[in-house]
Structure 1
Amino acid sequence: MPELASNVVFRTQQLTKTYRVGEVEIHALRGVDLEFYAGEFVVLLGASGSGKSTLLNILGGLDTASSGRVFYGDTELTRSDDAALTAYRRDYVGFVFQFYNLIPSLTARENVAIVTEIARNPLTPEEALGVVGLSERLDHFPAQLSGGEQQRVAIARAIAKRPSVLLCDEPTGALDSRTGIVVLEALLRANRELGTTTAVITHNAAIADMADRVIHISDGHITTIERNETKVQPAELSW
């Protein structure tokens, strides 16, 4: 899969996703046209069930579209087979979820090393954990870390392979506001230092103030896209 040739990282054309539950059809995405640009920090805002996670899962190669087209650079993901999508996820995409999914028996350093040992041009575990401010916690196990620290280890693990894109699904959803701000600072630092295009799903409207662009999603549609002329630092957010 080629590297990006332009500043457009993702492009979707009339993207739809329909799930069938028994006799009921659920339309998660309804004709989404969207672009993401290299190096930007984007917040996708919408209520639960609006289609945010479905969109990110398709962009990340974890799910497939029902119709429409998805491009990563010039590569059409909607035409990629399972092997190509696996390679795409491994080489280009970092994921951060609401729950940390760390291996309890491994230290922070070892949890990150799981990725660095298979990546093509990784950061070292020490470098990745340094980006998220955990240089002093390398040899601590998850049970010895707070929730915010565990989430930052998960971010370090995601950025260690130097992904082109970092897709984050409610990364502060399980955290209080003070801890959440520390996690958002870690995401922003990774975005700035590594140039990684970062997309953050949230239902928390306050987080939108730190983004380059805010994409509002409702009932499977993109309703509005806003650009922040003046961005707020995470420490200035309140929710």
Structure 2
Amino acid sequence: MPSDPNETVYDIRGLTKVYPMGEVQVHALRGVNLRIPESEFVVLLGPSGSGKSTLLNIMGGLDVPTAGEVRYRDLDMTRVDANRLTWFRRESVGFVFQFYNLIPSLTARENVSLVTDIATDPMTAEEALDIVGLSDRLDHFPSQLSGGQQQRVAIARAIAKRPDVLLCDEPTGALDAHTGITVLEAISNINAELGTTTAVITHNAAIGQIADRIVSMRDGVIVDETCNSTKAPVSSMSW
């Protein structure tokens, strides 16, 4: 995996997304410009309806823009077909959502193996679960795990295929503060140790303390960007 911090992973220009709602058009994004370099940990901060999830979904190839350009490295994501976007999602992106989406009848190991079975150069399920601190829970079912542990299984599943990018949409939204910190430690460690370019959506400003950069959104536009010269460790966060 490349590790040049000056290399651009995402170059987003003039990004616009309009959803038709009957006779009304909802402007979810209004000309967003954003560059994300190699190995950066960026937090997308803003209230509900600010456009964060729409932006993340387009970055992950789950949605397409109405106008503008999204380049992932040398790939112009706005000019490729659905099959190419599917390949991009499968090979390059790990997704973590607010709800864990684990299969209840499968163990932690088996849930992660669903991804390793189709990836080109995956970790083993055991390696991925060890990275998130669950090597002692390999054969536990979701019902036998806490909410934080289930989310860490979801993170292990996301990173098991060795993605270039990790995209997280409110990964601590369903968790209490203590459990959320455990989950954020897993995400932060992956960014630091594996160099995985990471974007985390949140409405919790405190999470920005552990990021390289905070991108604040409101009403479909970026209203502020703040760089952290020294990231705070997760353990020191004031939630």
Report the TM-score range of the alignment, normalised by the length of the smaller protein.
Answer: over 0.9
Q: Which residue of 1 aligns with 2:166?
A: 166
Match of 2:80 in 1: 80
- Please give the residue correspondences for 1:87-166 in structure 2 after superposition, counting only pairs within 5 Å: 87-166=87-166
8 Å Cα contact 2:3-2:39 kept in structure 1: no
Contact in 2 for aligned 1:12/1:70 (Cα 8 Å): yes
Q: Look up the equivalent residue of 2:41 and give its one-letter code.
A: F
Give the TM-score, by structure 2 length: 0.97
Q: TM-score, normalised by structure 1?
A: 0.97
Structure 2 counterpart of 1:180: 180
Q: Would you say how many aligned residue pairs link Structure 1 and Structure 2?
A: 237
Deviation at 1:237, TM superposition (A): 1.1
Q: Matches of 2:217 and 2:75 in 1, distance apart?
A: 25
Amino acid at match of 1:62: L
Cα distance in 1, alignment partners of residues 230 and 193 from structure 2: 20
Match of 1:198? 198
Return the letter of the residue paired with 1:12.
Answer: I
Instruction: For residue 87 of structure 2, give the secondary structure of its aligned residue in structure 1.
Output: helix
Equivalence for 1:57: 57
SS, match of residue 118 in structure 2: coil
Unaligned regions of 5+ residues in structure 1, if any?
none
Q: Which residue of 2 aligns with 1:215?
A: 215
Distance 2:187 2:120 in 1: 22
Contact 1:43 1:207 in 2 (8 A): yes
Deviations along 1:135-185, whole A, 9 cap, x unmatched?
A: 000000000000000000000000000000000000000000000000000
Letter of the structure 2 residue corresponding to residue 21 of structure 1: M
1:33 aligned residue: 33
Gaps of 5+ in 2: none
Q: Which residue is 1:68 aligned to? A: 68
Counterpart residue identity of residue 151, structure 1: Q
1:238 positional shift: 2.1
